[in-house]
Amino acid sequence: MVHTIVLRSHAPRSKLKSKIHLPRARVPIQLEPNPSDRTYKKAIFLENLKNTAHRYRLFKEPSLQAIARIESSLLSGARKYFEENLFVEVTVPHVTRATGACENVATMFEVDFFGEKRYLAQTGQLYLEVMTPYLERVWAAGPSFRAEEKVDERHLVEFTLLEIEFRGNFNQLLEHVEGTLVSMVSEVLAKRSEDLAILGVDAERLQNVRRPFKRLTYTEAVELLEDEGVRWGDDLKSPHEKLLVECMGSQPLFITHYPKAIKFFNMKENAVNHELVDSADLILPYSGEAVGAAEREYEYDRLVTDFWSRACSGC
């Protein structure tokens, strides 16, 4: 038998692959899989997970049951932090116009809404921004849908997205991101040690997730990646982020203050360097980018100007 195994919060006071190419060749390979082998079982499980027709059958697997319990505790940890810090949990629409896009409408699933064009939402950001002047601190959790051309460890057609909006500044935003993640991890460590063991997760590594997280500016990151051919103004790719995390001791890492030219038009320009925006990505060991955060531009005239300048430049 032959087997082939293919092995993002925000704030306004503002308002606040690699690919392997092989030569063509016919090589007969006979594999006698060992059903008790952990790697073989994991590969078959992941392959079955892609089969949406009978995915419900997989819940008999202890690993999937463990994942469900851990996900529950992650959300409980987030909710605990938000309640302690006076955030109001709200619900947002999941069938929207283009307002539900995360920057690119082309990646949205289109649905027929009684003869009118609508989309499955990717974000509730604009709804949260509208609520912020009245509720001051808001958050929401819900599904985000992406019409990805491929599905792998970094591209999913559906996942759970947590979003916050509040009145405050950029440093407060990063502190809330840290606090949320630490609370989520603490909840899992307190209640799901057996489930972590089922998944083969080293709980001791999770105990090292503490505040404050390490930080690098984008400019500092580019300097560290100079030997990799990265130049100022380039968008950092997943392999670059992985190298940076390893350089910083394989701990959660904020990369902050990206060039304005490679970020979305509504991010607030840095007060000192107008080529930068007050934005950050949180990079985690193994999984990569986990959070995208930025302070919002709230001045109408500047928003309009930045929007049209990006539209004219094709950004």
Q: Is residue 139 part of a domain?
A: no
* Angle ∠(271,277,280) on CA atoms, nearest 5: 125
Distance CA 277, CA 263 (A): 8
Residue 3's pLDDT band (cuts 50, 70, 90): very low
Higher pLDDT, 17 or 16: 16
Query: Span 237-252, mean pLDDT?
Result: 94
Q: Above 70 in pLDDT, residue 1?
A: no
Distance CA 272, CA 265 (A): 18
Q: Above 80 in pLDDT, residue 314?
A: no
Higher pLDDT, 281 or 313: 281
For 95-99, 272-276, 307-311, which range has the lowest pLDDT when averaged over its residues? 307-311
Q: Is residue 1 part of a domain?
A: no
Q: Is residue 314 part of a domain?
A: yes
Q: Is residue 48 part of a domain?
A: no
Q: What is the pLDDT of residue 39?
A: 61
Q: Is residue 234 part of a domain?
A: yes
Q: What is the pLDDT of residue 173?
A: 97
Query: Span 292-302, mean pLDDT?
Result: 93
Instruction: Quote the domain boundaries for residue 230.
Output: 213-315
For 136-145, 224-233, 300-309, which range has the lowest pLDDT when averaged over its residues? 300-309
Q: Is 187 exposed, middle or buried (0-12, 13-18, 19+ CB in 10 A)?
A: buried
Total of domains in the chain: 1
Residue 21's pLDDT band (cuts 50, 70, 90): very low
Contacts of 16 (CB under 8 A, 6+ apart): 10, 132, 165, 166, 167, 168, 169, 172, 173, 295, 296
Q: What is the pLDDT of residue 61?
A: 86
Q: Is residue 61 part of a domain?
A: no
DSSP 117-186: EEEE-S--HHHHHHHHHHHSEEEEEEEEE---SS-SSS--SEEEEEEEEESS-HHHHHHHHHHHHHHHHH
Q: Above 50 in pLDDT, residue 186?
A: yes
Q: Is residue 98 part of a domain?
A: no
Q: What is the pLDDT of residue 47?
A: 66
Q: Is residue 244 part of a domain?
A: yes
Residue 51's pLDDT band (cuts 50, 70, 90): low
Which CATH number characterizes residue 309's domain? Answer: 3.30.930.10
